[in-house]
Homo-oligomer: A and B are copies of this chain.
């Protein structure tokens, strides 16, 4: 039904439809929203999108960096260089940074092992993680994955290949979230909470 529209619109609708989670109808809403904006707004948006090209990934941890070399965590002399928190993507880094409780470095895998979606270990940045463990004298690896199936797969796989390297490996604690009510907790969370109970 979009062939009634000028090419400028159909092109951009097609482009926005490739964004994650965006279908043609939402893409068209975006374009109509932009049509209502003035020239300055359009120029600013186009410019900000072009700025993306200034960014690259940190050579060590694959976090985003603006200087083409190391990211601000890897370059920070105050961070503990012996502890590496392994995460699948950037939003998890931000969630952990928001706690201010972790002062080590990160390693962004770029995904989780998920055969059903065609993601195998070969698609993740595991080689660079192994190289760091060997070359940088890493002492502890924290596997900070969601406890869904791909997360558990990834934890299992990484544990198997990291164990022979004789370093400390840990995973995030599973249990009841703050403010939750025992009576409404799902059985798997409750099992994890029981299994990981702490002596007082």
In the docked arrangement, what's the CA distance between A95 and B52, Å? 36
Count, chain A residues at interface, CB 8 A? 49
Q: Does A51 contact B (CB under 8 A)?
A: yes
Out of B26, B53, B64, which one reaches A9, CB within 8 Å?
Answer: B64
- Count the copies: 2
Q: Does A93 contact B (CB under 8 A)?
A: yes
Interface residues of A in 70-123 (CB under 8 A from B): 89-91, 93-95, 97-98
Secondary structure call for the A interface:
helix
Q: Known pairs A5-B64, A11-B51, A34-B52. 12 more at Cβ < 8 A?
A: A1-B98, A6-B55, A8-B51, A9-B55, A9-B64, A20-B33, A25-B91, A32-B89, A32-B91, A46-B47, A46-B49, A49-B49
Binding site for B on A (CB under 8 A): 1-2, 4-6, 8-9, 11-12, 15, 19-21, 25-26, 28-35, 39, 42-55, 64-66, 89-91, 93-95, 97-98
